[in-house]
Amino acid sequence: MLPLTGITVVALEHAVAAPFATRQLADLGARVIKIERPGSGDFARRYDESINGQSSYFVWLNRSKESVTLDVKSPRGREILHELVGRSDVLVQNLGPGAADRLGLSAAAVRARDPRKIVLGITGWGSDGPWAGRKAYDLLAQCEAGLVSLTGSADEPARVGISVADIAAGMYGFSAVLAALYQRRLTGEGATLEVSLFEALAEWMGQPAYYTAGSGRQQPRAGARHATIAPYGPFTAGDGRTVLISIQNETEWVRFCAEFLGAPELATDPRFATNTLRVANRDTLEAIVDARFAAFGAAEASALLDRAGIANAGVNTVGDFLDHPVLRERKRWRDVDTPGGAIRALLPPISLGDEEPRMDPVPAVGEHTAAVLAELGRSPGEIAGLADEKII
């Protein structure tokens, strides 16, 4: 039995942050009932058509869920929604500011009816404070948290290549629900939970925040190099391929000089004797490392680095990643059904010992509406009438 078997989650969700939290709950066995707009569904379904005509975002975030379409603005749709929430353990929502309150589903209202309920709201900037009413999307949070100012080349800032603020918020939402379920088992009480995109990413900005506060200056943008550690970055081998190396401590630095650079005296060179000095003299140091890499092919350089105990990696494309030997040899891929046909999907990173995580299909819009309404006691005729009135 999976850890969350028997837990029911109702999700008023769209886009990335809340769907990422609830998909992970589904991975662990929770029943996740996803409420979608009749006809169109979650707008993330239409972000792209790259995977069998479906959105890459949607198939990533919504396997193992049940899709129920409801016009929650209509009285009958709202009545059904409240019934579903009443039967659930957890309510998750990342609706726009004030929308949950207007539906009668604020955390206070839900928990007044049933104190055992766990209610998670994912917001952009927090449910109170000066920006409570502002819209928030991933890149806006990246910008406001200062992350974009750290990312990119010296000449130009850049967005992080994935939806990192949404993912951060989804991860904290997932872990908060797990903690609340444990607390409820001990005390019988539910919980009111909130995570904002901005504050989730603010936590991830801890190191550069402390660096700036303590030093009085912001660490520079350094492309694929580490801004405050050297040598730590990509180098081009003689065959034109790129290898990234990482020197994390003085013991590694001494070994790197002796066994890879073939110049043990560099370890105590006054220009490079500490990491701070190596960063200050980065250009001179990297010219020496570049010259050494040029003498080897990438595979030969990587083998020599491995023998010296120096961490290194290829700078892969996404295509390279899809065929990565670690994923292949560890059997991390599974087939998952979708409305557009079966796709390959990665197992979630949490290992459950011998227990396989849940990898059920990605639902079509409203695929489970009739079955769920039947559970609520609606007759086939009533369900047909709701469909005719476009309530489902």
Q: What is the pLDDT of residues 72-130, one digit of tens each?
A: 999 999 999 999 999 999 999 999 999 999 999 999 999 999 999 999 999 999 999 99
* pTM (predicted TM-score): 0.92
Instruction: Using alpha carbons, list the distances in angstroms from residue 337 to 25, 63, 334, 360.
Output: 19, 9, 10, 7
Selected from 3.40.50.300, 3.40.50.10540, 3.40.50.1980, 3.40.190.290, the CATH number assigned to the domain covering 8-204+332-388 reads: 3.40.50.10540
pLDDT, averaged across the chain: 96
pLDDT of residue 251: 96
What percent of the chain has a predicted confidence (pLDDT) above 90? 97
Query: Which are the contacts of 35, defined by CB distance < 8 A and separation ≥ 6?
Result: 10, 11, 12, 13, 68, 69, 70, 72, 81, 84
- Please give the pLDDT value at position 54: 96
Q: What is the CATH number of domain 232-314?
A: 3.30.1540.10
Tokens of 326: 């670690």
226: annotated active-site residue: yes
Q: What is the pLDDT of residue 218?
A: 94
Q: How confident is the model at residue 253 (pLDDT cuts 50, 70, 90)?
A: very high
Write the CA distances from 322 to 26, 316, 330, integer angstroms.
Answer: 24, 10, 13
Q: pLDDT band for position 171 (50/70/90)? A: very high
pLDDT band for position 21 (cuts 50, 70, 90): very high
CB count in 10 Å sphere of residue 74: 17
Q: Could you give the CA distance from residue 314 to residue 268 in angstroms, rounded to a whole number?
A: 29
Given this model, what pLDDT does residue 307 score?
96
Mean pLDDT of 9-14: 98
Average pLDDT of span 213-219:
95
> What pLDDT score was predicted for residue 271?
97
Mean pLDDT for 377-384 is 96
Domain spans of the chain, in order of start: 8-204+332-388, 232-314
Mean pLDDT of 289-295: 97
pLDDT value at residue 263: 97
**Exposure of 85 in the CB half-sphere (CA atoms within 13 A):** 30
Q: Which bin fits 113, alpha (ψ -120 to 50), beta or left (φ > 0)?
A: alpha
245 half-sphere exposure, CB direction, 13 A CA radius: 28
- What would the mean pLDDT of 49-54 be, rounded to a whole number? 95
Answer whether 8-204+332-388 and 232-314 agree in fold.
no
Name the active-site residue from 14, 82, 226, 368: 226
- Of the pLDDT bands very low, low, confident and very high (cuts 50, 70, 90), residue 189 is very high
The pLDDT score that the predictor gives to residue 369 is: 98
Given a contact cutoff of 8 angstroms between Cβ atoms, the answer to whether 180 and 191 are in contact is yes
| Residue 328 burial (C-beta neighbours within 10 Å; 0-12, 13-18, 19+) | exposed
For the stretch 123-166, pLDDT in tens is: 999 999 999 999 999 999 999 999 999 999 999 999 999 999 99
Mean pLDDT along residues 347-356:
91
The alpha helices in the chain, defined as continuous H runs, are 17-27, 56-61, 75-86, 99-102, 107-113, 138-144, 147-150, 164-187, 197-204, 206-215, 250-255, 275-280, 282-293, 298-308, 318-322, 325-329, 369-375, 380-388
